[in-house]
Structure formats: C-alpha cells, structure tokens
C-alpha cells in the first residue's frame, strides 16, 4: 500500500486531504507539532509523528513514503508574527523539500495560496499567469507564501517533482481554528456582523480543495501552479446566502474603508505595545480593500477539479460550527 507523508494534517485543508487519502486506499503518515490540536485526526488510521518543519532529521521521518503533501503553514495577519511567518513558511518549506529529496520522495504537492499570486487591479479576475510584485503583496503572510512558493518552483526547476496548488477561500466542516472565511461565518452566526466591508473573494468547498490536491499529485505538471477555487462572490453575496440558510438577517449597510483601518492602526500600533490584545489586524483590513477574484479554469481543465455547490459547503460549515459548540 502506497504511503504518503503529510504536513499540516491537523488543519482545515490538511484534515480533509488526510480523510480523502484514507478513503482512496493510501496509508498516511502525518507530521504534527507537539502542541497541535489532534481533534481533526481523531479516530482516523493515521501514523502520527511529532516534529517540526525545520527539524534536521525530518528526512528520516519521511523514510518509506512515496509521496509528500506539504500543507503546513503558519497563518497570521498580525505584524508581531513576522519572524514566525518566515521561519515556518519559507525556511520550513526549504527544509521540507530538501528532506523529501534526501528521503527519495517521488513527487510532492506543495500547498501555496492565492495570497502568493496577489490581486488584480480594481477587482479584475486573475489566473496562474498573473503575479503581483513582492512589494505589492499586502503583509508578511502573503510575502512569506510567495517566497515559499518560489522555493518550491526553484526546486522543481532543479529537477525535483513538485506541483504547486493555490487554494482560494475554502468553506466546510472541520474548520477548527477557524480560518478567516470560517470566522466570517462564525461572526455571522453569532450576530456580530452589523455591517460589512465592500469586498469580494473566491470561495470553494474544502472537500473540492482536497480532491484538487490528489488530482495535482496524479495529473499536475511539475513546476506548474494550479488555482484551487470556484466562485467569485462579493462578501455581501456570501452573507445573503448565509441569511437564506440560517434565517439570520444579513447586514444591509457597508462600513467605510477608513473606519476599520483606523481601528486596526490604533489596535496594532498603540494598544498592542501596551500589552492589550488587538482585535483587528492592520494587514487584514488592508487586504479587504481589494476584491480577491481568481479564475480556476486551468485546474478544472487539466486536473478535473470538482466545482461543488457552495450552498452545501456553507450549510455543512454552519452545521459543524453549531454542533461543535462554537455558537452559544
């Protein structure tokens, strides 16, 4: 039975990839940090190995595995986490890929993000051929994901078999942390969203993202990147769909861009250094000022990426948050 090494298997996308691999008859070995919450892997037949992306002996943990899914990443929009972002996402990715080569891994799927691609001007839809210059990428999270993706492509150009996937904003169950999209759904369910920001995103069912990973392993071209996305929606359209599913009224008025920007600036620049927990990340507000729209047709055409109905994904996300006690 083919064994696959997975980093980030406890997370939202990673846990769905692990479940899919097990259903498709693969054996899974998952790298987890000693401090990781293992709830998303509970009851699954997975071999757990504890360690870190920067471990020098990581290649030994990969021994006996044929393929690698490198999904783990540090996600934060807080400026104080800058050093962590580069250490995990860039240095960690270089170490994981070098370890894979040393362990004789045949083929790797590296999970990047549409964040690494950047955004088109004034809400234009972009595909894999587009790239924002590094200095135009908002915040250190996006910059770190871009640099990590560059490391993966450089390794592929040097002869390592590596396919890059760029998920957009996934929706669905098991969003344990939750992700920014899950946070929107959660705040809506808690009726903590009286107004909304006039922005837009590309959304996809997280289970389709998992399939996109496996299809990239099977059919992807080494050195290429594939956007794993589905539907471009304004935030208002997403909230209206949530209103239809839940019966909770959607907010009707927008908030002017300068307002959250001012709040975030005070939060991060004045309150955080005083030891108060900031509530709104400045980089997050900056990002929301530009719609982030993407064209996933390459992945649909070349990989056969599924495009499941988002209503089901939203309904399943809502049910999961409620059943797991996230909504009191």
pTM of the model: 0.91
Q: For 250-297, how does the pLDDT look when each residue is reduced to its tens digit (9 = 90+)?
A: 988 776 564 454 554 455 455 556 565 555 554 454 555 578 899 999
CA distance 49 to 56: 14
Task: Please give the average per-residue pLDDT across 197-220, as a whole number.
Answer: 94
Q: For 16-31, how does the pLDDT look when each residue is reduced to its tens digit (9 = 90+)?
A: 999 999 999 999 999 9
In terms of phi and psi (left: phi > 0; alpha: psi -120 to 50; beta: otherwise), the region of 325 is: left
User: Helix (H, G, I), strand (E, B), or coil: what is residue 166?
Assistant: strand
Higher pLDDT, 19 or 186: 19
Helix residue ranges per DSSP H, the chain:
12-23, 58-62, 82-85, 92-103, 139-157, 180-189, 206-219, 235-246, 258-266, 282-288, 297-303, 310-323
What is the pLDDT confidence band of residue 187, given thresholds at 50, 70 and 90?
confident
Domains and CATH numbers, the chain: 3-173+204-230+293-309 (3.40.50.720)
User: Helix (H, G, I), strand (E, B), or coil: what is residue 26?
Assistant: coil
For residue 196, with 0-12 CB atoms within 10 Å meaning exposed, 13-18 middle and 19 or more buried, which class applies? buried
Residue holding tokens 């208002």? 236
CA distance 181 to 156: 31
**What is Dmax (Cα atoms) for the chain?**
56
Asked if residue 200 lies in contact with residue 291, where contact means CB atoms within 8 angstroms, the answer is yes
Q: For 83-102, how does the pLDDT look when each residue is reduced to its tens digit (9 = 90+)?
A: 778 888 999 999 999 999 99
Lowest mean pLDDT among 224-233, 254-263, 297-306, 319-328: 254-263
What confidence score (pLDDT) does residue 305 get? Answer: 98
């Amino acid at each position: 039975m083919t064994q696959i090494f997975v980093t980030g298997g406890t997370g939202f996308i990673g846990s769905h990839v692990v479940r899919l691999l097990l259903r498709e008859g693969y054996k899974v070995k998952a790298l987890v940090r000693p401090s990781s919450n293992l709830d998303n892997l509970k009851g699954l037949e997975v071999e757990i190995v504890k360690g870190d992306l920067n471990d020098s002996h990581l290649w030994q943990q990969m021994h006996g595995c044929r393929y690698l899914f490198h999904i783990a990443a540090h996600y934060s929009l807080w400026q104080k986490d800058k050093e962590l972002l580069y250490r995990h996402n860039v240095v960690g990715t270089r170490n994981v890929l070098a370890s894979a080569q040393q362990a004789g891994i045949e083929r790797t799927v590296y999970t990047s993000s549409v964040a690494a691609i950047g955004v088109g001007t004034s809400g234009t839809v972009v595909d894999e051929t587009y790239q924002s210059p590094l200095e135009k990428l908002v915040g250190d999270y996006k910059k770190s994901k871009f640099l990590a993706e560059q490391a993966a492509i450089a390794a592929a150009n040097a002869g390592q078999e590596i396919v890059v996937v760029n998920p957009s904003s996934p929706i669905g169950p098991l969003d344990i942390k939750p992700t920014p999209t899950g946070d929107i759904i959660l705040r809506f369910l808690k009726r903590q969203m009286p107004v909304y920001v006039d922005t837009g995103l590309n959304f996809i069912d997280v289970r389709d993202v998992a399939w996109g990973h496996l299809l990239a392993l099977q059919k992807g071209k080494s050195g290429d990147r594939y956007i794993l996305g589905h539907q471009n929606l304004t935030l208002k359209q997403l909230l209206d769909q949530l209103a239809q599913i839940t019966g909770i009224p959607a907010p009707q008025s927008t908030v002017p861009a300068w307002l959250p920007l001012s709040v975030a600036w005070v939060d991060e620049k004045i309150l955080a250094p005083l030891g108060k927990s900031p509530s709104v990340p400045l980089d997050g507000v900056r990002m929301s000022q530009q719609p982030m729209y993407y064209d996933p047709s390459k992945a649909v055409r070349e990989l056969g990426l599924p495009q499941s109905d988002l209503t089901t994904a939203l309904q399943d996300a809502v049910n999961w948050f409620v059943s797991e006690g996230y909504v009191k």
